[in-house]
């Protein structure tokens, strides 16, 4: 387990640990129930190492999850141009660490208050609480948006504006079910399709032209 990620679960783990101890005084079934919840929380905050492809033309997934939609639209917050958005839904069984899709410098980070609608809803991108990031290198600027869901209620940021990250390096996480969006330039070749399950930091999402 990676300690920085597990640290985000400290209060939840303590809560379930206390319930496990208390449950043992009443029933073996209660002890097992709360102990399993404790183990599930540990599993949820797992954070495996990933190997990102070195090719600078390749853009990797910013999160684990299922590709829900691939649409063309205007990205008005950072790029202010037409882009292709790939929406990734993170279930409670996916790793929830977010990773840099390219190597580059963080030039933008903005938190937005909002609702906590189901992250599978089409309108959650505009209505839910979110954190928008932009990663820039000499080749391209890529936007990533972390979006809360009905269960996820906290977006965690580990990186700051000005930080230089390598492709696949962690910059934050969303606690429990949520959505992460990747905004690609229109000249990038998308290499995933709706329904694909991707792994943050290693699955190739798109290829930039030479």
- Taking phi over 0 as left and psi of -120 to 50 as alpha, with beta for the rest, 80 belongs to left
> In the prediction, which pLDDT does 153 show?
65
> In the prediction, which pLDDT does 177 show?
65
178 belongs to the catalytic site = yes
> In the prediction, which pLDDT does 125 show?
81
Q: Spot the catalytic one: 83, 130, 178, 202.
A: 178
pLDDT 10s digits, 80-122: 999 999 999 999 899 999 999 999 999 999 999 987 777 777 6
List own/partner pairs for 13-20 with CB under 8 A and 24 or more apart: 13/38, 13/41, 13/42, 16/41
> In the prediction, which pLDDT does 36 show?
95
Report the chain (210 residues): mean pLDDT per 10 consecutive residues: 81 91 91 93 90 97 97 95 96 93 98 80 82 97 91 83 98 86 98 98 97
Whose CA is closest to 111, among 148, 136, 137, 83?
A: 148
Q: For the chain, what is the total number of helices (H) and then of strands (E)? A: 4, 14
Q: What domains can you pick out in the chain, each with its CATH number? A: 3-44 (no CATH), 58-207 (2.70.70.10)
> In the prediction, which pLDDT does 136 show?
98
Give the phi and the psi of residue 124 in degrees, each rounded to 5: -65, -25
Q: Which two tokens stand for residue 97?
A: 């660490």
Confidence (pTM)? 0.90
CA distance 96 to 108: 21
- Evaluate the CA torsion angle 60, 163, 111, 7 in order and state its sign: positive
> In the prediction, which pLDDT does 4 show?
83
């Amino acid at each position: 387990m990676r300690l920085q990620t597990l640290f985000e679960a400290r209060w939840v783990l303590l809560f379930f640990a206390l319930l496990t101890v208390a449950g043992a005084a009443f029933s073996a079934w209660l002890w097992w129930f709360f102990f399993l919840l404790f183990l599930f929380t540990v599993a949820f905050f797992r954070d495996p190492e990933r190997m990102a492809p070195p090719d600078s033309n390749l853009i990797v997934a910013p999160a684990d999850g299922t590709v829900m939609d691939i649409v063309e639209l205007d990205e008005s917050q950072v790029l202010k141009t037409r882009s292709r958005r790939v929406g990734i839904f993170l279930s409670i069984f996916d790793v929830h660490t977010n990773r840099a899709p390219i190597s580059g410098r963080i030039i933008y980070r903005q938190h937005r208050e909002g609702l906590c609608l189901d992250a599978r809803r089409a309108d959650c991108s505009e209505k839910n609480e979110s954190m928008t990031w932009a990663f820039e290198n000499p080749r391209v600027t890529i936007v990533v948006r972390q979006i809360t869901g009905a269960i996820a209620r906290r977006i965690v940021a580990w990186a700051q504006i000005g930080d230089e990250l390598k492709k696949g390096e962690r910059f934050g996480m969303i606690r429990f079910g949520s959505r992460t969006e990747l905004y690609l330039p229109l000249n990038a070749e998308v290499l995933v399709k709706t329904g694909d399950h991707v792994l943050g930091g290693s699955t190739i999402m798109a290829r930039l032209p030479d």
